[in-house]
Homo-oligomer: A and B are copies of this chain.
Amino acid sequence: MKNYTSISDIDDLEGIIREARSLKVKNPESRVGTGKTLGMLFFNPSLRTRLSTEKAAKLLGMEVMVMNVGTDGWALEFEDGAVMNSDKAEHVREAAAVLSQYCDIIAVRAFPGLKDREKDESEQVLNSFKKYASVPVVNLESATGHPLQALADAITIQENNMVKRPKVVLSWAPHPKALPQSVANSFVEMMQRLEVDLVITNPEGYDLAPNIRKDTKVEHDQEKAFEDADFVYVKNWSSYENYGQVLNVQKNWTVDQAKLKNSNNAKVMHCLPVRRNVVIADDVLDSENSIVIQQANNRTFAAQVVLKRILECTK
């Protein structure tokens, strides 16, 4: 694996999930990361991604250097040809090239602005690092995708699946703030590659981008979507059509036990952080159906297998 910036960087999905699960059972004695350094750049806050990726790197023997861009370092310029006489002190061309001198892998978190769809879809921050870094780049959640989360999701579904071809429902849920579509996008892309029946359910106006949905079924009736579901993945996202907006939704989309009554005793997933009683009700999160903590735990092994494969490729 040369980089891990989107799901499409995975060739061998079954193999990578199998290897992640075996890393979870037993950390290998030979540490492929010894003497190697992971640099993690955060343009946005992070709990799980920060800690699970740091832990994964250290399990491989890597050193980890963490930078909160903007507070620890310098404001970055991304525009080519910019005359930098204002608030940006460093261009990504230098930042990425310099970090490549100190780090063997660079991992970047950069959320979308949610104002300008075209700009967000250009993935300027992530792609600039990919372009100007001379070492592999890992996506810690970008404007449009969160492939490490999606890999952890796939591992978690495999661990919990008890049927030949499970029904997996991705359900939109309410949230007071405008959130990116990135987690939902990568989850959909990941599920499209697994042996599952995927249904997306969301209110009108919240359909994901056509190039993400492809021919995946979208059901605007949440309870109908939940019928016979084996897995319900809950997540808010802001509107793609009315880009970045929080629309007025009449019905209550919060996921509670009552709504799951016609599911196949569905396991409930969420990438966390989750707003209780807004996105998912206490009665679900505190029940046996919730596998959100196991899912968060799998972030470590998703990151570990990705870093391991990248290191093996650059040796």
Residues in A lying within 8 Å of B, measured CB to CB: 27, 35, 37, 39, 42, 45-48, 50-52, 54-55, 58, 63, 65, 67-68, 71-74, 77, 81-86, 88-91, 93-95, 97-99, 101-103, 176, 272-278, 282, 285-286, 292-293, 296-297, 300
Is A273's CB under 8 angstroms from B83's CB? Answer: no
A273 / chain B contacts, CB cutoff of 8 Å = 74, 89-91, 94-95
Known: A51-B67, A102-B297. 15 other contacts (CB 8 A): A37-B55, A39-B51, A45-B71, A45-B74, A46-B72, A50-B67, A50-B73, A68-B71, A77-B276, A83-B276, A91-B274, A94-B272, A94-B292, A98-B297, A102-B300
Is A102's CB under 8 angstroms from B276's CB? Answer: no
A300 / chain B contacts, CB cutoff of 8 Å = 101-102
The contact of A101 among B37, B72, B88, B296, by CB within 8 Å, is: B296
Output the nearest chain B residue to A77 by Cβ-Cβ distance.
B276
The contact of A272 among B37, B67, B90, B274, by CB within 8 Å, is: B90
Q: Given A63-B58, A98-B48, are A90 and B293 neighbors across the interface (CB < 8 Å)?
A: no
Question: Closest CB-CB distance, A119 to chain B, in whole Å?
Answer: 20
A101 / chain B contacts, CB cutoff of 8 Å = 52, 293, 296-297, 300
> How many chain copies does the complex carry?
3
Per the bound structure, the CA–CA distance linking A272 and B92 in Å amounts to: 12
The contact of A91 among B48, B85, B276, by CB within 8 Å, is: B276
Q: Given A63-B58, A67-B51, A275-B84, are A293 and B98 neighbors across the interface (CB < 8 Å)?
A: yes
Output the nearest chain B residue to A72 by Cβ-Cβ distance.
B45
A81 / chain B contacts, CB cutoff of 8 Å = 277, 282
A272 / chain B contacts, CB cutoff of 8 Å = 90, 94, 98
Per the bound structure, the CA–CA distance linking A85 and B174 in Å amounts to: 9
A67 / chain B contacts, CB cutoff of 8 Å = 47, 50-51
Per the bound structure, the CA–CA distance linking A99 and B89 in Å amounts to: 32
Per the bound structure, the CA–CA distance linking A37 and B56 in Å amounts to: 11
Question: Closest CB-CB distance, A133 to chain B, in whole Å?
Answer: 11
A-B complex: 9 closest residue pairs judged by Cβ atoms: A90-B273, A84-B275, A101-B297, A47-B73, A83-B277, A98-B296, A51-B102, A97-B293, A89-B273
Question: Closest CB-CB distance, A247 to chain B, in whole Å?
Answer: 16
A35 / chain B contacts, CB cutoff of 8 Å = 27
The contact of A277 among B52, B84, B90, by CB within 8 Å, is: B84
> Considering residues A46, A47, A71, A90, which has the most beta carbons from chain B within 10 angstroms of its beta carbon?
A47
